[in-house]
Amino acid sequence: MPSGYLPAHVSAALRTEAGTTSSRGVDAITRLSQLSAREVDVLVLLAAGRTSKVAAHELGISPKTLEVHRARIMEKLSCSNPIELGRLWEAAVWSGLRPRAVLPSASAAVTAASHTRLL
């Protein structure tokens, strides 16, 4: 078998998987675009690995308020747990569609704090 050659069935499976990944990304971007700018701020910090307490401090809000935002994010995105939310965010980021381009603009502090790690 020559180098770089894949059997037709493997190549077709890879193309199908690539299409599925792309459609997952588009779906994720569409779902994320429902969020308000403040919810995007919260999501970006949480996706960057900040704890609720640290994220609340960076945003200048109480941890309880941050938890309310997190609950609304989960509800709007129809995510039943944080793992599902993380997978949705990952699908958006890995889609290559740059979720920041379609999401409500996050505050400058959040963008600066998380830009290099997430996008």
Give the residue with greater pLDDT, 74 vs 89. 74
Name the DSSP letter for residue 104. P
pLDDT surpassing 60 at residue 69: yes
Nearest to 77 by CA among 66, 87, 85: 85
Show me where the domains of the chain are located: 36-118
- Residues whose CB falls within 8 Å of the CB of residue 65, separated by 6 or more in sequence, listed in order: 56
Q: Which CATH architecture has domain 36-118?
A: Orthogonal Bundle (1.10)
Task: Kindly report, residue by residue over 26-49, the tens digit of the pLDDT.
Answer: 888 888 888 998 999 999 999 888
Q: How confident is the model at residue 25 (pLDDT cuts 50, 70, 90)?
A: confident
pTM value is 0.66
Taking residues 14-35, what's their average pLDDT? 72
